Structures are given as structure tokens and as C-alpha cells.
Chain A
Amino acid sequence: MNHPTFAAPVSSALPLGERQLKAFIDATLRFFERITQEPAEIGDASIHLDRLPVLDFTGLIQISGSCTGFIYVTLPREMLAKMLASIGESQPDDEACRDFAGEIANTVSGNAREIFGSQFDISVPAPLDSAAAASLTLQGPSFVLPVNWRGADACIVIALQLQ
């Protein structure tokens, strides 16, 4: 049996390092706590090789450069309604949920610009409803991290491919 030999400690041979991606996820998770004063919990991550997961509302940014693709947060209506309620919106309708998804997209965009900004072009953030988000496609794998907040699950999705 040949054992592996290490040429160097873990390095960033790829354009995006896992530490950068982790920093982005952590920053996005902090959004939940900042807005609602209640932290979200992360679930078991998975890698999707087929369809991108899409819930009722999605806040998305597109990335281009040495990697292209999307980074987004997709949330169920139930969670958005609870989040809005926690900040005083008692009867949130779809319009309010969509606007709030836009807020989340802004946060995602701000975090992405801060963490990956020098390496990539980052699009204007966009809120999408489920029909629009369902048309998103990607050839490669996507990293899906469930985020639980007050019993409802959203997902942070990193769907990038190398150019």
C-alpha cells in the first residue's frame, strides 16, 4: 500500500478556498441573528449533482470570472413570514416576503463582495420567486447547506463551476 505524501500544507490551488467559502457562509448565517436576535442552526450539508434546490423565495447573486455560477439563499414562505413577524411585520404577504428575500440577497452580495470581491465579478443581487429560481441550471456540483431557524429550513447554496 502506498501512503499519500504531502507536498505542502493545504493550499489554495483553486480560485476559491474553502476558508473563503466558510467565511461567506458564516457571514450569511449572522444575518439571521442580526435581524431576528435569534441564531440559525446549520444542518447536514450535501452536494447536489443534479438539480439545484429551490424553495419559495430566493435571494441570489451571480458570480463570473475564474469561477462562474450562483450563490444564493433560498427560503420557505413560512420562515420568511416568521422572520418578518419577528421584526414587527404582522401580516406579511408574498410581496413583503419577496422584498425580504431581496434584503437577504443584498446581504449575500455584500458578504460576497467583501470576501471574494477582488477575484470575481459579482452581479447586482436579485430576489427570485420559485418559478424564476427553478430555471437556474448548472453543469457541475452545488454545495447545499440547510439552515434551520425556528423549525423551518432554508438553504445556502454555492453553485459554481470552474471556467
Chain B
Amino acid sequence: MPASLSPFNCNEMSIHLQKSYDRTPEFEALAREAQLQFVEWSIVFALDGLKTGAEIALAFKLSEGRADEIFERLVAKGIIGEYNMGVEDYLQRRQIMALNALAESAGDGRANSTTNGSRVRGQRLEPDFPMVGSLSATISRLRSPKSTVDGTNGKTQVPAASTNGNGNAPKKNRFRLKAATDFIQGHAGGGTLGQLAVYRALMLVPSDLLRETGLRRLDFNDETIEIESPKLRQAIVDAIGKTLQVELPVEYFLE
């Protein structure tokens, strides 16, 4: 970890702050009953098994003592647990840390790489707050497409990259409209509210581009609608960005 990221003296740092944590397999069940402080929930949802306690504490501007106290409490409640990684996770983490270091060295504020729940801008690690909407939607978002916690052994599963016969990952170029509408719905709270958010987003897509598809009607459960036009893909993603105030590339929806 770059020294500039941490104000803590690593030799004296609490054991909690040196470790990486993630939500436990029991998190979903426990979360429904748990009564936590706002900052504690924020930390729970910021965990990704990659950031250390120290990084989280820095991101939330918490003192070492306060952060340690929160981690201890969350561990005791069984909501979070120490994250032991396998070799794949280790390699993934190392790659992400290298990207972070690159972003920091660029230091222009625009160079930001995501780490499944946080982003680095210059030298600042900023927490994201992706917990808009229902608990289920949030949990499902947290599970995918990042690595997931396996319910049987508590270990994080990194989705295996599918390959073609040559060992190369197949090129993703399928843009299903449902992936985009599900994304919007998930972030807007689901139900009618989520569907209205989809409508608001589509209001921002140029109607001539929509008409070019020949689509006459969009049912929210329709899995079959694929968007071929790069211009329309970009327009949909731009509309999502404006509606949800989110930054994301078209590639995010490619399958």
C-alpha cells in the first residue's frame, strides 16, 4: 500500500485495521434484524474483501480507535468476517492495487480505477454508496458481478472467466436491454418506482434511435431484446448515467 494512503503507523496499528474483511455468508439473514449505526452500515457495504480496515477507516475519515471499535463490533455480531484469500483473489487484488497506484501516480483527478466499491482519484480513496434501493437489490448488486462469498465455506469465489477452445475469453458484444433496465430498477428501488426510473431514462434516449429498432413495446421481463446499434447503446448508457448519476461504460452491459 502506498504510504500516502495511510496515516497510521503500521507497527502500532490495531489488528483489525491490518486485515481485509468482507460480509459473512450469514450477512443477508443478519442484516434484516441488525440495528447498526449509519457509519457501521456504510462500512459494511463498502467492504469488498480487498480494502484493509485501515483503508476503510481512512476513506470514512475515522480515527484508528473508532474504526477498530466498529470492526470489533461488526465481527462480534457475525456480520463481517476476516477475509482469507485464495491465489486467484490474491492475484486480482495485486492487479487492482497496481491500477490504484497507477491512478495515484497520474494524479489528475480523472484517472480513477474502480475496486468493486471504491474508486481512487489521485491519492484519495473514496467510498461509494451503492446502497440505494431495497436490501435484496443491494445484496444482489453486491454479489454480482464482483467476487462473491460462498455460502458453504465462506470463501470468496471469483467468477471463472469462460474461455473458448483456444483458451481465450470470448469477446462480449451482446447488449440485452433487460440488463440495462434491471440495472436501473435495482438502483431506483425496484417495483413501480424502478420501472418509472427506466421510463425516465428512456425519455432521455433520442426517440429516432429508439424507433430505428422497430421496437413497439418494452415489457420489463422481456429477456430477448438486444440492442445492436452502437449509437443506441451509448445513448442508453448515457441516459442511465444522467438518471442515476452514475458513471459507467457501455462495456458494463456487454455479455
Bound-state CA distance A42–B187 (Å) is: 22
Query: Per a CB cutoff under 8 Å, which of A2, A44, A48, A158 touches B220?
Result: A44
Q: Is the CB of B249 within 8 A of A2?
A: yes
Query: Shortest distance in angstroms between B183's beta carbon and chain A's nearest beta carbon?
Result: 8
- Contact of B112 with A by CB under 8 A: yes
Q: Is the CB of A7 within 8 A of B129?
A: no
Pick out which of these stretches binds chain A: B25-33, B35-43, B149-157, B196-204. B196-204
- Contact of A8 with B by CB under 8 A: yes
Given contacts A1-B251, A50-B216, contact A13 B203 (CB under 8 A): no
CB-CB contacts below 8 Å: A85-144 with B: 139-141, 143
Contact flags (1/0) for B232-255 with A, using CB distance below 8 Å?
000000000011111111011000
Q: Is the CB of B251 within 8 A of A45?
A: no
Bound-state CA distance A48–B216 (Å) is: 6
**Contact residues in A for B196 (Cβ distance below 8 Å):** 18, 21-22, 143, 158
Pick out which of these stretches binds chain A: B10-18, B54-62, B207-215. B207-215
**Contact residues in B for A19 (Cβ distance below 8 Å):** 193
Query: Per a CB cutoff under 8 Å, which of B193, B217, B248 touches A2?
Result: B248
Query: Shortest distance in angstroms between A31's beta carbon and chain B's nearest beta carbon?
Result: 17
Q: Is the CB of B242 within 8 A of A5?
A: no
Q: Is the CB of B242 within 8 A of A1?
A: no
Query: Per a CB cutoff under 8 Å, which of A3, A51, A143 touches B199?
Result: A143
Q: Is the CB of B218 within 8 A of A5?
A: no
Q: Is the CB of B199 within 8 A of A7?
A: no
Q: Is the CB of A14 within 8 A of B203?
A: yes
Q: Is the CB of B198 within 8 A of A47?
A: yes
Q: Is the CB of A47 within 8 A of B217?
A: yes
Interface size class of B (residues with CB under 8 A): 35 or more
Bound-state CA distance A162–B248 (Å) is: 23
Given contacts A3-B252, A48-B217, A140-B203, contact A13 B145 (CB under 8 A): no
Bound-state CA distance A13–B244 (Å) is: 8
Given contacts A10-B244, A13-B245, A14-B204, contact A5 B188 (CB under 8 A): no
- Contact of A152 with B by CB under 8 A: no
- Contact of A160 with B by CB under 8 A: yes
**Contact residues in A for B245 (Cβ distance below 8 Å):** 6-11, 13
Query: Per a CB cutoff under 8 Å, which of B112, B128, B220 touches A6?
Result: B128
Query: Shortest distance in angstroms between A73's beta carbon and chain B's nearest beta carbon?
Result: 15
Give A145's nearest chain B residue, CB to CB.
B192
Q: Is the CB of A14 within 8 A of B145?
A: no
- Contact of A25 with B by CB under 8 A: yes
- Contact of A81 with B by CB under 8 A: no
- Contact of A35 with B by CB under 8 A: no
Bound-state CA distance A139–B203 (Å) is: 10
Given contacts A9-B132, A10-B132, contact A18 B188 (CB under 8 A): yes
Bound-state CA distance A2–B244 (Å) is: 17
Q: Is the CB of B195 within 8 A of A4?
A: no
Q: Is the CB of B216 within 8 A of A51?
A: yes
Query: Shortest distance in angstroms between B36's beta carbon and chain A's nearest beta carbon?
Result: 19
20 contacts between A and B (CB under 8 A): A2-B251, A3-B114, A5-B119, A6-B130, A7-B247, A8-B245, A10-B132, A10-B197, A10-B245, A11-B245, A13-B243, A18-B188, A22-B196, A45-B195, A45-B220, A48-B218, A49-B211, A51-B216, A158-B199, A162-B204
Q: A42-B192, A140-B203, A143-B196 given. 5 additional CB < 8 A pairs?
A: A6-B246, A8-B245, A10-B243, A25-B192, A48-B216
